Structure 1
Amino acid sequence: MKIDIPSEFPTLKDYLDWLFKKYNTPDFINSDPIKFVHRFSNPQDMEVAGFIASLLAMGNRKIILLSNEKLFDLMENKPYDFILNFDPFWYEKSLSNFVHFAYRNIEGKDLLVIFYLLKQTLEKYGSLKNLFLKHYDEKHPTIKQALSGFVKEILSFNPPPKLNGIPKSVNGLLPDPEKNSPCKRLNMFLRWMVRKDSVDVGLWSEIDKAKLIIPLDTHVSKISRALGLTQRKTDSWKTAEEITFNLKKFDPQDPVKYDFAIFGLGIEMKNLS
């Protein structure tokens, strides 16, 4: 795939900056899973809503939004209270028919486990931010170590009483960057929580946005390769780091803002085809 920068833009940075300004607007919110974060004003609800919405950010965007609507209806639009008081026996039947059809299916039984793990997380730490900050060290160049510790600790809590351990399918939904997973959905969640502008909510102001890693999926990697932002052939944490490092040349303090530009570039190319 070849991408030609329009002649009115002297450099790739100019083009990406223009795309960022074009797509980083409140209009972006309603067609993106971040809409479920903006639905709430209480920070406790916002971060839990963001974590759950990001888990399902896999596959067709319309289906992602529809699946999330089903879950938020189940939670009666009170995500923090729902998770804090979650009873896996009570909700086993309610979640049994839930399936999010994506590249691989996410089933209600997986969410049952994740909700129970989140319940224990909130009981111990009060918020997801408090757990993340426990593992965050501003001396580290990226959030990799903090994210790995965050995931490991969530997965260390007890599974629902009927299970002997955490299913592999749940481990797949909460990947560890130490295993070289690109962690697309977790990095997207962190973008929502850390950056602050007209789209991202910036609840976790203690985290340096310069340390974020771009949410990497096949769409982002394809365009990034075409732009020369990575030479790597496979999608991995190292690939996401390489793309982010190259985007830092354009904005050292906020490289992940270009996630909007790459998304927008995909829209621009689709409109031209």
Structure 2
Amino acid sequence: MNKHLQTVKARLDIEVAKRNSLDELHLSRPDPVMPAREHNEEYSALVCALFGYGRAENIIKFLYSLDVSLLDSSENEIEKALFKYYYRFQNGRDVIEIFRTLHRLKQVDSLEALFDEGYRQEHNVVMGLNTLIGALLKSNAYESRGYNFLVGRPVEKSRGNGAMKRWMMFLRWMVRKDNIDMGLWTKVDKKDLIMPLDTHTFKVSHRLSLLKRKTC
């Protein structure tokens, strides 16, 4: 590691230590990890991650209104409880169907086990996500613009997949164990995690000279 990278790492380590506190989780600084931590369970956390787009205040309001225990209820109960719910691009049917999808998967296996099927051979988180997203798509043939936006598609089939940022956030919650992230998974090495680039992270990375390219 050259001197510049050592300096950047030292600065970032200081910032991480400063931010790695439960004091960071407050309604004045809303974050979808807040309800996810309260449930402390992988399927509930995935619901929080997939709906984790838009204004932070609206995300939190919607997530706290959801009864994630419905993931353990019958599909008829899910239908009755959620038909009036909607969030941005997802109408009531979309919300019902993502709960149905996760309900079905939960009867079969853990999300970690499904992810590990693709991850373990090369320790590649993208391959793990492709396998996990594929399992979601196979468990429910439902499609709509809102639902497809929520779940995403396997990476090799969709460049610029908008759902990937939310999926990578979910992986951070599951893999890293600290005062913020839950660390519920044990089969994935945190060094294999990927930070997806958005406008903000691109600008910061460019300013720190971690990137040389001029476009995100």
TM-score category by the smaller chain?
Answer: 0.7 to 0.9
Q: Which amino acid in structure 2 is aligned with residue 171 of structure 1?
A: N
Q: Tell me how far apart the structure 2 counterparts of residues 156 and 232 of structure 1 sit (CA, whole Å).
A: 38
Post-superposition offset of 1:151: 0.2
* Match status 1:228 vs 2:209: yes
Q: Tell me how far apart the structure 1 counterparts of residues 196 and 39 of structure 2 sit (CA, whole Å).
A: 23
Partner of 2:48: 53
Partner of 1:247: none
3-state SS, counterpart of residue 36 of structure 1: helix
Q: Which amino acid in structure 1 is aligned with residue 72 of structure 2?
A: L
Q: Which whole-Å deviations, capped at 9, do the CAs of 1:193-217 have from their partners, x for residues lacking one?
A: 0111111111111111111111443
Q: Tell me how far apart the structure 2 counterparts of residues 226 and 59 of structure 1 sit (CA, whole Å).
A: 25
C-alpha root-mean-square deviation of aligned residues, in Å? 2.2
Question: Percent of aligned positions with the same letter in both sequences?
Answer: 31
Whether the 8 Å contact between 1:33 and 1:64 is mirrored in structure 2 is yes
Q: 1:157 aligns with which of 126, 129, 139?
A: 139
TM-score of the superposed pair, with normalisation by structure 2: 0.83
Whether the 8 Å contact between 2:78 and 2:100 is mirrored in structure 1 is no
Partner of 2:114: 131
User: Relative to 1, partners in 2 of residues 1:52 and 1:215: Cα closer, same or farther, differing over 3 Å?
Assistant: farther
Partner of 1:96: 83
Q: Tell me how far apart the structure 2 counterparts of residues 174 and 226 of structure 1 sit (CA, whole Å).
A: 32
Partner of 1:242: none
TM-score of the superposed pair, with normalisation by structure 1: 0.67
User: Which shifted more, 186-195 or 169-178?
Assistant: 169-178
Q: Tell me how far apart the structure 2 counterparts of residues 167 and 34 of structure 1 sit (CA, whole Å).
A: 26
Q: Which whole-Å deviations, capped at 9, do the CAs of 1:194-244 have from their partners, x for residues lacking one?
A: 11111111111111111111144333233223333332624xxxxxxxxxx
User: Which shifted more, 11-20 or 109-118?
Assistant: 11-20
Whether the 8 Å contact between 1:86 and 1:115 is mirrored in structure 2 is no
Whether the 8 Å contact between 2:175 and 2:188 is mirrored in structure 1 is yes
Partner of 1:210: 191
Partner of 2:20: 24
Partner of 2:70: 82
Unaligned runs of 5+ in 2: 1-5
Partner of 1:255: none
User: Which shifted more, 114-123 or 183-192?
Assistant: 114-123
Post-superposition offset of 1:38: 2.1
Unaligned runs of 5+ in 1: 1-9, 160-164, 235-273
